């Protein structure tokens, strides 16, 4: 079975995880964001904010985890799987902080291609920082710009998800997928 891999991306605090949960509640196969797991694992290792102190190591762990998710989506043998962030997100965040990354990062993005990418714009009314999300809203806007540039740089056509309730945003995505 050729599983369609559908990414839902956007800067921090745009509602991605809420939409993923809504899609799960509707019975769809979804793979959740892994950056919190990487951050919490680093904290257990004694590093409070791995992304800030060792961005390349953090990004290598994320890249490996997202690459695993890509193959996990195929193994699920479903018609489509929704994924909270894709491999190119790693490069976008590295671009955001102005750090370099090895060519292997680019090669992974070129070799693992998603079928569709939905992007959520920064939405000030719902934005919240927390213990793991340290960015402020202005930084979230800049991250969004990096995400757009990165995905478009890999020739993806981004599908904007309009501001609305979580339920309506999930339905919007499902309707778009059915129309394709």
Q: What DSSP string runs through 19-49? A: HHHHHHHTT-EEE---HHHHHHHHHHTT-S-
95-142: per-residue pLDDT in tens?
998 988 999 999 999 999 999 999 999 988 877 766 555 678 888 899
Report the top-level CATH class of 4-179: alpha beta
72 confidence band (pLDDT: 50, 70, 90): very high
Domain ranges of the chain: 4-179
Ranking 13-17, 34-38, 73-77, 128-132 by mean pLDDT, the lowest is: 128-132
Ranking 28-32, 84-88, 136-140, 166-170 by mean pLDDT, the lowest is: 136-140
**Using CA atoms, how far apart are residues 142 and 20, in angstroms rounded to an integer?**
23
Helix, strand, or coil (residue 165): coil
pLDDT > 70? residue 143 = yes
pLDDT > 90? residue 2 = no
């Amino acid at each position: 079975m050729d599983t369609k891999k559908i990414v839902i991306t956007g800067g921090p605090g745009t509602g991605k995880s809420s939409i993923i949960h809504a899609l799960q509640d509707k019975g769809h196969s979804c793979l959740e964001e892994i950056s919190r797991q990487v951050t919490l694992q680093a904290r257990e290792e004694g590093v409070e904010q791995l992304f800030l102190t060792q961005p390349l190591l953090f990004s290598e762990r994320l890249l490996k985890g997202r690459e695993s998710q890509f193959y996990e989506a195929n193994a699920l043998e479903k018609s489509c799987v929704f994924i909270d962030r894709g491999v190119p997100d790693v490069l976008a965040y590295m671009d955001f902080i102005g750090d370099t990354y090895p060519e292997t990062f680019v090669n992974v993005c070129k070799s693992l291609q998603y079928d569709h990418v939905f992007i959520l714009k920064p939405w000030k009314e719902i934005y919240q920082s927390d213990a793991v999300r340290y960015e402020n809203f202005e930084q979230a806007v800049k991250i969004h710009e990096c995400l757009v540039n990165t995905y478009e740089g890999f020739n993806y056509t981004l599908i904007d998800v309009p501001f609305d309730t979580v339920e309506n945003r999930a339905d919007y995505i499902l309707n778009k997928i059915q129309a394709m």
